[in-house]
Amino acid sequence: MPSYHDIQQFLFFEARLMDEHRYDDWLALWAEQAHYFIPAGDDERGINYSIALVNEERPGIEDRIKRLKGGAHYAQDPKSQMSRVVSNVEILEENEGELLVTSTFNLTAYRKSVLDVIAGRTTHRLKLNGAEFRIAAKKVQLATSRGVMTNLTFLV
Partner 1 sequence: MNYDMNRDSNPAAIDYGKLVLEDRVHSRIYTDPAIFDEEMDRIFHRGWVYVGHESEIPNRGDFQARNIGRQPVIFIRGDDDEVRVLMNRCTHRAAVVCPHESGNAKRFVCPYHGWAFLNTGGLLGVPHSERYDDGFDKKDYGLRPAPRQAAYRGLMFASLAADGPSLDEHLGPLAKAEIDIAFDLSPAGKIDVSCGTHKYGYAGNWKLQAENSTDGYHLGFLHRSFVEISLQRAGVTTAPDYGANAPYRLRSLGNAHVAWDMSSPAATRWLTGGAAKVPAAQQEYIDSLVAAHGEERAHKMLARGGPHVLIFPNLVFIQTHIRMIRPVAVDRTEVFLYPYRLTDVSDKINGHRFRGHQAFYGPAGGGATDDLEVFERITEGLRATVDPWILIRRGLGQEQIESDGAVTGQFTDELNNRAILHYWRSVMSGEKILGSTRETAI
1 binds partner 1, rule: CB under 8 A = no
Specify which residues 108 forms β-bridges with.
83, 117
Min dist CB 68 to partner 1, Å, is: 9
Q: Indicate the SS3 state at residue 63.
A: helix
Which residues, numbered 45-74, are part of the site for partner 1 (CB under 8 A)? 45, 47-56, 59-60, 63-64, 66-67, 70-74
Q: Is 22 left (phi over 0), alpha (psi -120 to 50) or beta?
A: beta
27 binds partner 1, rule: CB under 8 A = no
Please give the single-letter amino acid code of residue 57: E
Q: Which stretch binds partner 1 (CB under 8 A): 10-18, 23-31, 41-49, 93-101?
A: 41-49
Q: What are phi and psi of 76, to 5 degrees?
A: -120, 30
- Before 39, cis peptide (omega within 30)? no
Which residues, numbered 64-123, are part of the site for partner 1 (CB under 8 A)? 64, 66-67, 70-75, 77, 112
> In angstroms, rounded to a whole number, what is the distance separating the alpha carbons of residues 139 and 156?
10
Indicate the residue among 68 and 99 with the shorter CB distance to partner 1: 68
Min dist CB 107 to partner 1, Å, is: 13
Q: Indicate the SS3 state at residue 71.
A: coil
Indicate the residue among 38 and 135 with the shorter CB distance to partner 1: 38
Indicate the residue among 22 and 66 with the shorter CB distance to partner 1: 66
Q: What are phi and psi of 7, to 5 degrees?
A: -65, -45
Min dist CB 6 to partner 1, Å, is: 29
> In angstroms, rounded to a whole number, what is the distance separating the alpha carbons of residues 54 and 149?
14
Report the interface residues with partner 1, using CB under 8 A: 38, 40-43, 45, 47-56, 59-60, 63-64, 66-67, 70-75, 77, 112, 146-153
